[in-house]
């Protein structure tokens, strides 16, 4: 997965924030799409696949929003304060957009206006804005000064000089007392890369169906998440996300779902469906679930604690191997109980012993676990082939 990240600086070139930008490949140097799918992918990948703290640290970040997010047709699955919501340039500003901006502002979100030109329609957003970006490439310093004066009538607005491409433009921005500075003269967008699993689209649609029912079967919903390793890892990271405000360690997917709450899980699943542009490799994902199920079965037979916890250990170990890197690299980014983290990263404890035995059997050595393997294969095949639930 790829995200573009461009720095915004305060005075004296002090790094202040980043703008997160859609990129669709390792060689992309600009956004190839500016629609709601692109925005959904940036949000999902920034807050789950990468981790927002890993991307921006303790600094702020700007995320472009399309009309669908502003008017409430698509959800924002993070609380106010972690990201500045940037109203994209070129958007038609009508009553619905203005009302949506007011609602988001009332919820505590901070808004920015991109490429403000003084257009009367865009000016309707000024009372709800916390940041206004002005394009410094206009070449007319008097026009820029007029825009600055217009925005300064609202004291809380902070001015961002954007698209600074020459030292003269940077000097003008300083002279006009902009608070933030962004552009190629200071820093070009930098491509940030991470590896993530391709999701199973059908499982996610099934989960949305289950979470939207009048009477939610939480056990069934959790089972759906457990069969989708890519979604399971995002749910666990969602608990660990500083924006969620949840710091309690978890030992299973079920506990993570309970802590996050059904509305939050539904929001993440909704955005992941929108962001999912390619089907996952189901044979590969099936192998991951088989290991997880084998760990659960072996743990339950031996009486080694909760089967759901053993399932999570097997799931995380297989995902970690697929993504590569040291075993502890994945667990370091998740809010896990000590026994789960030690089992996955170091093979310690009763759960670690279960995991080591399953891994050894999968390599063709160790204890005979043919019965557990056949049972796990049967369970996994039946689970992944499960039809859509009947609507209520």
pLDDT per residue over 364-379, tens digit each? 887 889 898 898 888 7
Q: What's the confidence (pLDDT) of residue 298?
A: 94
Closest by CA to 2, choosing from 59, 50, 39, 52, is 50
Q: What's the confidence (pLDDT) of residue 384?
A: 55
Q: What's the confidence (pLDDT) of residue 387?
A: 40
Return the percentage of the chain with pLDDT > 90, whole number: 34
More reliable by pLDDT, 348 or 275: 348
Q: What's the confidence (pLDDT) of residue 359?
A: 92
Q: What's the confidence (pLDDT) of residue 29?
A: 53
| Model confidence pLDDT, tens digit, residues 108-156 | 999 999 999 999 999 999 999 999 999 998 768 899 999 999 999 999 9
Q: Average pLDDT of 289-295?
A: 87
Q: Average pLDDT of 18-24?
A: 82
The chain-wide mean pLDDT, for the chain, equals: 80
Q: What's the confidence (pLDDT) of residue 274?
A: 46
Q: What's the confidence (pLDDT) of residue 178?
A: 96
Q: What's the confidence (pLDDT) of residue 28?
A: 47
DSSP alpha helix (H) spans, the chain: 36-44, 52-56, 67-70, 95-106, 120-123, 141-151, 167-175, 201-211, 218-226, 229-240, 253-260, 262-275, 282-302, 307-323, 327-331, 338-346, 349-362, 370-384
Q: Average pLDDT of 204-223?
A: 71
Q: Average pLDDT of 205-223?
A: 72
More reliable by pLDDT, 258 or 1: 258
Q: Which residue has the tokens 């106010």?
A: 80
Q: Residue 41 pLDDT > 70, yes or no?
A: yes
Q: Which residue has the tokens 């469906």?
A: 273
Q: How many CA atoms lie within 13 A of 152 on its CB side?
A: 10
Q: Residue 191 pLDDT > 90, yes or no?
A: no
Q: List the structure tokens of 60.
A: 């702020």
Q: Which H or E element spans position 26?
A: none
Concatenated DSSP letters of 333-376: TS-B-HHHHHHHHH--HHHHHHHHHHHHHHTT-SS--HHHHHHH
Burial environment of residue 148 by CB neighbours within 10 A (0 to 12, 13 to 18, 19 or more) = middle
Residue 49 backbone dihedrals phi, psi, to 5 degrees = -65, -45
Q: Residue 285 pLDDT > 70, yes or no?
A: no
> 177-186, 238-247, 383-392: which has the minimum mean pLDDT?
383-392
Top-level class of domain 2-193: alpha beta
Q: What's the confidence (pLDDT) of residue 82?
A: 81
Q: Which residue has the tokens 């310690």?
A: 348
Q: What's the confidence (pLDDT) of residue 256?
A: 83
Please say whether the dihedral angle defined by the alpha carbons of residues 77, 80, 81 and 87, taken in this order, is positive or negative: positive
Q: What's the confidence (pLDDT) of residue 261?
A: 81
Q: Residue 273 pLDDT > 70, yes or no?
A: no
Q: What's the confidence (pLDDT) of residue 159?
A: 97
Q: Average pLDDT of 259-276?
A: 64
DSSP state, 61? Answer: E
Q: What's the confidence (pLDDT) of residue 277?
A: 34
Q: Which H or E element spans position 277?
A: none
Q: Would you list the domain boundaries of the chain?
A: 2-193, 201-384
| Model confidence pLDDT, tens digit, residues 316-327 | 888 777 766 676
Return the percentage of the chain with pLDDT > 70, whole number: 77
More reliable by pLDDT, 277 or 92: 92
Q: Residue 331 pLDDT > 80, yes or no?
A: no
More reliable by pLDDT, 210 or 128: 128
CB-CB contact of 162 with 186 (8 Å): no
Q: What's the confidence (pLDDT) of residue 389?
A: 37
Collapsing DSSP states into helix, strand and coil, what is residue 95?
helix
DSSP alpha helix (H) spans, 118-200: 120-123, 141-151, 167-175
DSSP state, 45? Answer: I
Q: Residue 22 pLDDT > 50, yes or no?
A: yes
Q: Residue 291 pLDDT > 60, yes or no?
A: yes
Name, of 7-11, 139-143, 201-205, the range with top average pLDDT.
7-11
Q: What's the confidence (pLDDT) of residue 34?
A: 52
Q: Which H or E element spans position 214?
A: none
Cα–Cα distance between 294 and 82 in angstroms, integer?
Answer: 39
Give the global pTM: 0.63
């Amino acid at each position: 997965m790829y995200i573009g990240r461009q720095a915004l600086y305060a005075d004296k070139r002090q790094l202040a924030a980043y703008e997160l930008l859609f990129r669709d490949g390792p060689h992309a140097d600009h956004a190839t799409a500016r629609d709601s799918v692109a925005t959904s992918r940036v949000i999902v990948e920034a807050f789950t696949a990468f981790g927002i703290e890993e991307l921006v640290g303790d600094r702020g970040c700007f995320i472009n929003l399309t009309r669908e997010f502003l008017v409430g047709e698509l959800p924002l699955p993070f609380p106010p304060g972690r990201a500045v919501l940037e109203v994209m340039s070129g958007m038609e500003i009508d009553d619905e957009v203005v009302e949506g901006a007011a609602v988001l502002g009332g919820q505590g979100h901070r808004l920015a206006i991109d490429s403000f030109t003084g257009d009367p329609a865009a000016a309707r957003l000024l009372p709800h804005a916390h940041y206004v970006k002005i394009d410094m490439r206009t070449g007319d310093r008097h026009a820029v000064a007029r825009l600055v004066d217009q925005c300064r009538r609202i004291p809380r607005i902070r001015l961002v000089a954007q698209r600074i491409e020459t030292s003269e433009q940077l000097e003008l921005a300083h002279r006009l007392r902009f608070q933030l500075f962004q552009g190629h003269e200071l820093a070009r967008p930098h491509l940030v890369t991470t590896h993530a699993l391709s999701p199973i689209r059908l499982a996610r649609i099934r989960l949305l169906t289950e979470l939207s029912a009048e009477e939610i079967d939480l056990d069934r919903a959790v089972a759906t998440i457990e069969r989708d390793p890519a979604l399971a890892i995002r749910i666990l990271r969602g608990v660990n996300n500083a924006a969620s405000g949840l710091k309690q360690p978890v030992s299973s997917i079920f506990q993570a779902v309970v802590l996050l709450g059904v509305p939050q899980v539904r929001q993440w699943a909704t955005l992941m469906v929108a962001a999912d542009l390619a089907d996952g490799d189901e044979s590969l994902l099936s192998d991951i679930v088989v290991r997880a199920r084998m760990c659960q079965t072996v743990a339950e037979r031996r009486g080694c604690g909760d089967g759901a916890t053993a399932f999570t250990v097997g799931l995380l170990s297989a995902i970690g191997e697929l993504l590569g890197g040291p075993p502890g690299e994945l667990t370091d980014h998740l809010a896990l109980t000590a026994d789960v983290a030690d089992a996955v990263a170091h093979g310690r404890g009763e759960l670690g012993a279960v995991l080591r035995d399953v891994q050894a059997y999968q390599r063709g050595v160790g204890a005979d676990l043919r019965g557990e393997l056949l049972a796990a294969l049967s369970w996994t095949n039946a689970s992944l082939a499960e039809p859509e639930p009947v609507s209520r």
